[in-house]
Amino acid sequence: MFKNWSNRKTRPKESPPLGTYDTCAIVGNSGVLKHSHCGEEIDEHDFVLRNNMAPTEGFENDVGTKTNLMSINGELVKTITNCFENTTCSPTYLKKVKVLNDTILWFSRVFSPSVRQKQYYALSTFIRNHSIPFRIGFPTKPLSTTE
């Protein structure tokens, strides 16, 4: 899956801070918004965070379309990076990630540094190869509910 990984000497660089926003919407993927007609209200927020690439296409009236940050869990990161090397499932994920135009794709779980770097490079290579304008983010240290 990670061709020529041993030759990589650089690590992902830290991005600048996001800035501040007046309003934020956090949209889950449970389906609780189905038939809610909240899409317009969600899209009016300055910053919209979504989870695990839940579909918006076909549900715009209920969940909106705006996405500034998409948080994905560890299993989804593995699935996506594996699919990027497999031409039979790549078009499915290519369609999903192209919807994330100018979005931050956030790894919500901290992996070991070597696994995280491998996944970062697999995702960033896919992004570059398909000219997809979004960024990748992940925590640089374990997250705690007390911090």
Looking at residue 4, its pLDDT comes to: 47
- Enter the tokens of residue 60: 């715009």
33 vs 30: CA distance, rounded Å? 8
- Enter the tokens of residue 47: 């910053």
Looking at residue 5, its pLDDT comes to: 44
The answer, as to whether pTM is greater than 0.95, is: no
Positions of the chain with pLDDT under 50: 1-5, 9-11
Q: pLDDT tens across 42-57, in order?
A: 999 999 999 888 888 8
Q: Count how many Cα atoms sit within 13 Å of the Cα of residue 136 in the half-sphere of its side chain.
A: 21
- Class (C level, CATH) for 22-137: alpha beta
Looking at residue 66, its pLDDT comes to: 93
Phi and psi at residue 135, to the nearest 5°:
-110, 160
Name the one residue in this structure whose structure tokens are 């996944």. 119
Looking at residue 88, its pLDDT comes to: 66
